[in-house]
Amino acid sequence: MKPFLNTLHEQNEYVIAFRVVLPSTSQGLKSDYFILTRLGNNVQAFRYKDELKKLSLSDQLLELLWKNLIQNQLFTMKDEKELSNFCPKKYAIYHSYSYEFTLISKTRMKTLSYYYPEHYDEVCFGMAERKKIINTVSAIDLLVLKDGLVH
């Protein structure tokens, strides 16, 4: 576990970290993380690139984001690699991005990674989990990223 996530994990019941992993990320470039934490009814949001920074979002917005995670079943969802979904080779795209969620509770940690989900949802539809990942990221983008809080 990354040190900044471990620190948040020690202080919270839940930590959800989201980032977009670009092909260049594996070559040493750092991704920004958008992070939600929950302790009891208290939900907080953070950004992490080189340091952890608490974001000033309203309680209503934070609760809306949390409900979106629950509605899209991120905590019970499987990683893309664990799911069977045939897609013809002609639709394969290489060197694109992935959406990555790291979900941490007091007893479990898991990572969900979905490669170029919008493309594969369009050409190889039928994976409900992929659609839920797209919906979750869309909500984060609409409610938080559009304001430049994470970029």
Query: Mapping DSSP to helix (H, G, I), strand (E, B) and coil, where does residue 47 land?
Result: strand
Structural domain for 87, as ranges: 3-147
Q: For residue 26, give the CATH number of its domain.
A: 3.30.1560
Summarize pLDDT for 130-148 with one digit per residue, the tens: 999 999 999 999 887 665 4
Q: In what order do the strands lie in the sheet with 14-21?
A: 52-54, 42-48, 33-39, 14-21, 98-105, 109-115
Residues 69, 75: contact at Cβ < 8 Å? yes
Tell me the pTM: 0.87
How many structural domains comprise the chain? 1
What is the distance between the alpha carbons of residues 133 and 77, in angstroms, rounded to a whole number?
Answer: 9
Kind and range of the H or E element at 111? strand 109-115
Are 9 and 46 in contact, with CB atoms under 8 Å apart? Answer: no
Per-residue pLDDT of the chain (151 residues; tens, 9 = 90+): 788 898 999 999 999 999 999 887 555 556 789 999 999 999 999 999 889 999 999 999 999 999 999 999 999 999 999 987 778 889 988 889 999 999 999 999 999 999 999 999 999 877 899 999 999 999 999 887 665 444 3
